Amino acid sequence: MGEQPIYSTRAHVFQIDPNTKKNWLPTSKHAVTVSYFYDSTRNVYRIISLDGTKAIINSTISPNMTFTKTSQKFGQWADSRANTVYGLGFSTEHHLAKFAEKFAEYKEAARLAKEKSQEKMDMATSPSQESPAGELSSPLTPVTPPMENINGTDEICDTTPNSDTRPEPAQNALAFAHSPAMTKHWEAELEALKGNNAKLTAALLESTANVKQWKQQLAAYQEEAERLHKRVTELECQSNQTPVIKSQKTELNQTIEELENTLRDKEEEMEKLKEELENMNDLMEQKDTLTQKLEETELRSRVLEEQLAGAEQRLEENQEEQENFRKSLRTLLELLDGKIFELTELRDTLARLIEEAS
């Protein structure tokens, strides 16, 4: 594409009331993106802003334009071609100053480009003269201005994806997995993760389908943009241009701009979907880790159950031995009671015999 954004910021957009020429009429309900565009093929600068698919600002910067700061956060400029005055309300004074600085910079670039174009026309219309040896006239190639931060700040956008470091689990986390309560906890955690996994899988399938659909739309938009560019080129090559053709050219340019902005929005959505996919992969790894922990917990639970069964069996054997010992003691006590009774009778008998003998 010959035209590309070189600086963007966000602001509330206004236009002067065409009837009173005093009151401001808001053209956007909220802050929208306002961008400077540079067309390298025509060497022109434009200010463009879209509210959805509607172009609310489409102003070509000319050397006679002036951007005026009317307050700490508000500025305006008049566009004689559009027969209106645009106003922008910024969130901070810094954003207004940066926008005004870029306006002055691109206005000066537009003035220089106009002078170079005028020089070329003068050279083409003037009589041809021989140039001195070693001095060849060459067309001036416009230099594309450096790209600015798309957010309207002085910081450079970092396109390298951040790798989120996940904290490793503590080494003693498994020490608490020996109790049935922890087993139930991990089972509940696994069930919740299974539910989340099902939801994430459904969202992933839906996102994949949307990505395929958007790729098809992007391809269709690119084909449409190429077709429109070819159409614009054909219209420019026609020798006798009528006002109707010029109007069609303007409409086609606006359509191309809208398609390009739509393409950028779709690309941003695709980047968001990629980030969501990375987050889902992280959740899948966490699920696998918890599943492994649950399996280890179940294994330890089975070992503890076997140990508990052995302990119960040994307890039953000890109880049986104690019961047999009690029975033996009772039998011994009964024998002792019988012997004591016999000894008592013998003592009584001996006592009677002694009394009778005396």
| Residue-level pLDDT at 205 | 77
CA distances from 55 to 17, 77, 287 (A): 18, 17, 47
Q: State residue 323's pLDDT score.
A: 92
Percent of the chain scored above 90 by pLDDT? 33
Residues in the chain: 358
Euclidean distance between CA atoms 102 and 84, whole angstroms: 21
Q: What is the share, in percent, of the chain residues with pLDDT greater than 70?
A: 75
> Where is average pLDDT lowest: 27-31, 150-154, 179-183, 184-188?
150-154
Rounded mean pLDDT, 40-55 = 87
| Averaged pLDDT, 336-340 | 93
pLDDT for 129 equals 44
For the cut 90, the answer to whether the pLDDT of residue 307 exceeds it is: yes
Asked if the model's pLDDT at residue 4 lies above 70, the reply is yes
pLDDT on residue 280: 85
Give the right CATH number for 5-118 from 2.30.29.30, 3.40.50.300, 3.40.50.2300, 3.40.50.150.
2.30.29.30
The stretch 148-172 carries a mean pLDDT of 36
pTM, to two decimals: 0.36
Instruction: Pick the range with the lowest mean pLDDT from 11-25, 26-40, 118-132, 252-266.
Output: 118-132
Which burial class, exposed, middle or buried, applies to 257 when counting CB atoms under 10 A from its CB (0-12, 13-18, 19+)?
A: buried
Assess whether pLDDT exceeds 90 at residue 41.
no
Taking only the tens place, the pLDDT of each residue in 163-200 is 333 333 334 444 444 467 777 777 777 877 887 777 77
User: In the predicted model, what is the mean pLDDT of residues 89-105?
Assistant: 92
User: Could you give the count of Cα atoms lying within 13 Å of 43 in the half-sphere of its Cβ?
Assistant: 15
Average pLDDT of the chain? 77
Is 80 exceeded by the pLDDT of residue 68?
yes
Whole-number pLDDT of residue 208:
73
* pLDDT, tens digit, 9 for 90 and up, residues 212-233: 777 777 777 777 766 776 676 6
